[in-house]
Amino acid sequence: MLIDNKGSSRQLVEKCITCPGMRHCLPHGLKGNEMERVSDMVKHRRPFQRGEQITMMGDEFTSLMVVHSGFVKSYKVSRDGEQQIVGFYMSGDVLGVEGISTGNYGYTAEALETTSVCTLSFRNYEYCSSHFPVMQKWLLNTMSRQIIDEQKMLLMLGKMSAEQRIANFLLDMSRRMSASGTSIQTIRLPMSRIDIANYLGLVVETVSRLLTRLQANDILIVKRRVISIMDLNRLQAIADNSIEDCHPLHHAA
Amino acid sequence: MLIDNKGSSRQLVEKCITCPGMRHCLPHGLKGNEMERVSDMVKHRRPFQRGEQITMMGDEFTSLMVVHSGFVKSYKVSRDGEQQIVGFYMSGDVLGVEGISTGNYGYTAEALETTSVCTLSFRNYEYCSSHFPVMQKWLLNTMSRQIIDEQKMLLMLGKMSAEQRIANFLLDMSRRMSASGTSIQTIRLPMSRIDIANYLGLVVETVSRLLTRLQANDILIVKRRVISIMDLNRLQAIADNSIEDCHPLHHAA
DNA sequence: TGTTGGCTGTGACTTAGGTGAATGGAAACC
DNA sequence: GGTTTCCATTCACCTAAGTCACAGCCAACA
Tens of pLDDT, residues B118-133: 999 999 999 999 999 9
What is the model's pLDDT at position B249?
Answer: 64
The reply to whether A71 and A138 lie within a common domain is yes
Q: Which SS3 state, helix, strand or coil, does residue A117 take?
A: strand
Q: Which of A156, A180, A197 is the last residue of a domain?
A: A156
Q: What is the average per-residue pLDDT within A140-165?
A: 97
Structure confidence at residue B250 as a pLDDT band (50, 70, 90): low
A84 touches B at CB < 8 Å:
yes
Measuring alpha carbon to C1', the residue closest to nucleotide D18 is B203
In this predicted structure, the answer to whether residue B244 has a pLDDT above a threshold of 70 is no
Phi, psi of A198 (to 5 degrees): -60, -45
In this predicted structure, the answer to whether residue A125 has a pLDDT above a threshold of 90 is yes
The reply to whether B16 and B137 lie within a common domain is yes
What CATH number corresponds to the domain at position A219?
1.10.10.10
What is the model's pLDDT at position B4?
Answer: 36
Structure confidence at residue A8 as a pLDDT band (50, 70, 90): very low
Tens of pLDDT, residues B185-239: 999 999 999 999 999 999 999 999 999 999 999 999 999 999 999 999 999 999 9
* Cα–Cα distance measured from residue B190 to residue B50, given in angstroms and rounded to the nearest whole number: 10
* Cα–Cα distance measured from residue B96 to residue B108, given in angstroms and rounded to the nearest whole number: 10
Which nucleotide, over all strands, has the C1' atom closest to the CA of A195?
D7
Residue of B99, B141, B153 lying closest to A101 (CB–CB): B141
Which nucleotide, over all strands, has the C1' atom closest to the CA of A50?
C28
In this predicted structure, the answer to whether residue A130 has a pLDDT above a threshold of 70 is yes
B153 touches A at CB < 8 Å:
yes
Strands in B63-69's sheet, in edge-to-edge order, are B43-44, B116-121, B63-69, B94-95
Tens of pLDDT, residues B83-113: 999 999 999 999 999 999 999 999 999 999 9
Contact A56, A108 (CB under 8 A): yes
Contact check, Cβ <8 Å, B140/A141: no
Structure confidence at residue B253 as a pLDDT band (50, 70, 90): very low
Number of structural domains (chain A) is 2
Burial bucket for residue B206 (CB in 10 Å: 0-12, 13-18, 19+): middle
* Cα–Cα distance measured from residue B122 to residue B118, given in angstroms and rounded to the nearest whole number: 13
What CATH number corresponds to the domain at position B91?
2.60.120.10
Q: Which SS3 state, helix, strand or coil, does residue A140 take?
A: helix
What is the model's pLDDT at position B185?
Answer: 94
How far is the alpha carbon of B184 from chain A, nearest alpha carbon, in Å? 22
Q: What is the mean pLDDT of chain A?
A: 89
Structural domain for B233, as ranges:
160-240
The reply to whether B151 and B68 lie within a common domain is yes
Tens of pLDDT, residues B44-70: 888 999 999 999 999 999 999 999 999
What is the model's pLDDT at position A244?
Answer: 60
Higher per-residue pLDDT: B2 or A243: A243
Structure confidence at residue B159 as a pLDDT band (50, 70, 90): very high
Q: What is the average per-residue pLDDT within B161-182?
A: 93
In this predicted structure, the answer to whether residue B5 has a pLDDT above a threshold of 70 is no
Structure confidence at residue A6 as a pLDDT band (50, 70, 90): very low
The reply to whether A121 and A28 lie within a common domain is yes
In this predicted structure, the answer to whether residue A249 has a pLDDT above a threshold of 80 is no
The reply to whether B84 and B36 lie within a common domain is yes
In this predicted structure, the answer to whether residue B8 has a pLDDT above a threshold of 60 is no
What is the model's pLDDT at position B115?
Answer: 93
Structure confidence at residue A26 as a pLDDT band (50, 70, 90): confident
Q: pLDDT above 70 covers what percent of chain B?
A: 91
Total residues belonging to chain B? 253
Residues from chain A contacting residue B142 (CB–CB below 8 Å): 101
**A188-196: long-range contacts, CB 8 A cutoff, minimum separation 24:** A188/A225, A188/A226, A188/A227, A189/A225, A189/A226, A189/A227, A190/A71, A190/A112, A190/A113, A190/A225, A191/A71, A191/A73, A191/A88, A191/A112, A195/A73, A195/A85, A195/A112, A196/A166, A196/A169
Residue type, B18: T
Greatest CA separation found in chain A? 72
What is the model's pLDDT at position B10?
Answer: 39
Contact A211, A175 (CB under 8 A): no
Best interface-test mutation with B: which of A80, A160, A243 has the largest number of B CBs within 10 A? A80
* Cα–Cα distance measured from residue B63 to residue B127, given in angstroms and rounded to the nearest whole number: 13
Q: Which of B110, B137, B156 is the last residue of a domain?
A: B156
A76 touches B at CB < 8 Å:
yes
Burial bucket for residue A205 (CB in 10 Å: 0-12, 13-18, 19+): exposed
What is the model's pLDDT at position A19?
Answer: 79
The reply to whether B126 and B190 lie within a common domain is no
Total residues belonging to chain A? 253
The reply to whether A129 and A234 lie within a common domain is no
Higher per-residue pLDDT: B28 or A149: A149
In this predicted structure, the answer to whether residue A149 has a pLDDT above a threshold of 80 is yes
H or E segment to which residue A226 belongs = strand A226-229
Q: What is the average per-residue pLDDT within B162-175?
A: 97
What is the model's pLDDT at position B182?
Answer: 81
Examine residue B253 and state whether it is found in any structural domain, yes or no: no
Q: Which SS3 state, helix, strand or coil, does residue A192 take?
A: coil
Tens of pLDDT, residues A66-118: 999 999 999 999 988 889 999 999 999 999 999 999 999 999 999 999 999 99
Contact check, Cβ <8 Å, B155/A84: yes
Q: Which of B112, B139, B156 is the last residue of a domain?
A: B156
* Cα–Cα distance measured from residue B32 to residue B29, given in angstroms and rounded to the nearest whole number: 9
In this predicted structure, the answer to whether residue B16 has a pLDDT above a threshold of 90 is no
Residues from chain B contacting residue A80 (CB–CB below 8 Å): 240-242
Tell which strand C nucleotides have any atom below 7 Å from a protein Cβ.
6-12, 16-21, 26
What is the model's pLDDT at position A13?
Answer: 57
Examine residue B251 and state whether it is found in any structural domain, yes or no: no
Comparing A106-110, A213-217, B77-81, the range with the smallest average pLDDT is B77-81
Sequential DSSP letters for A14-75? --GGG-TTHHHHSPTT--HHHHHHHHHH-EEPPPBPTT-EEE-TTSBP-EEEEEEESEEEEE
Structure confidence at residue B12 as a pLDDT band (50, 70, 90): low
What is the model's pLDDT at position A25?
Answer: 80
The reply to whether A88 and A164 lie within a common domain is no
Residue B146's closest chain A neighbor by CA?
A: A147
How far is the alpha carbon of A81 from chain B, nearest alpha carbon, in Å? 9
In this predicted structure, the answer to whether residue B3 has a pLDDT above a threshold of 60 is no
Stated in angstroms, how far is A136 CA from D26 C1'? 52
Structure confidence at residue A3 as a pLDDT band (50, 70, 90): very low
The reply to whether A77 and A100 lie within a common domain is yes
